[in-house]
Amino acid sequence: MPLKTLRVELLTMTPDPLPLIYAAFRQCYHAGFVADMWPRLLSGEISRDKQAEFVQSVLESGHDSPVEHVSFTFAVEGISRACSHQLVRHRIASYSQQSQRYVDESEMDYILPPAIARIPEARERFEGLMREISQAYRDLKGLLSEHGRAKSANEDARFVLPQAAETKIVITMNCRSLLHFFSLRCCARAQWEIREMALAMLVLCRERLPAIFGAAGARCERLGYCPESERFTCGRYPLRDNGA
């Protein structure tokens, strides 16, 4: 029943993402057919720097729907069920999550919140409870098996599993969804676990597509001010001057 830590890997992404986004943007403003310029985009006749400059300038105007044509797929492990419940609230995405119905959790992995880890008494109580829950799960599976439910024991025994239980998930989001996801979940006020995951995903996105994700992150970083109210701001950026 080991303690698990976050791991985020990029599995795949749309090939040639920058030329594709450039072409999609250009089609909105170009009288011709962008398929005719596609070979020039791929060959570099229209340089990647020029493509990036054009894309960034249009994004700054608030026009961002063409970035939906590019998507990223991540594999994530070492997050809790509490974290995945927050994640799947981002609806314009695809998820494939490890099933507690089919995967045996007799040796349940779990996530330990840092705030609990820093307090010895709290950590001892937390880890003791994780052991108790794992034992209860095994006991229930045994009792269910004795009463003819061996093939489906997991689906009922799982009801005792905690939100701390570790899960693994595959996530696909397009760039527009990712930008929105990062704007909310990279914020200092986001829950610590999903923020850690979002920041790890953002690093991978910036490496692969800096023209889109170079300035991505919490809303305050892009805006230069905190869009939250005085009650909720973390103080990292000044509040917006509503009188301006």
Catalytic residues: 185
Look at residues 132, 167, 197, 204 and name the one whose alpha carbon lies nearest to residue 4: 167
**Token pair for 244:** 């301006």
Contact yes or no for 106/141 (Cβ under 8 A): yes
**Token pair for 174:** 């397009």
CA distance 35 to 51: 15
CA distances from 1 to 38, 107, 128, 152 (A): 53, 5, 11, 22
Contact yes or no for 101/158 (Cβ under 8 A): yes
- In the block, tokens 């249009």 appear at 58
Residue 218 Rama label (left phi>0; alpha psi -120 to 50; beta):
beta
**Helix and strand totals (H; E) in the chain:** 11, 4
Contact yes or no for 110/193 (Cβ under 8 A): no
Contact yes or no for 234/226 (Cβ under 8 A): yes
- In the block, tokens 């973390």 appear at 234
Strand partners, 167: 79
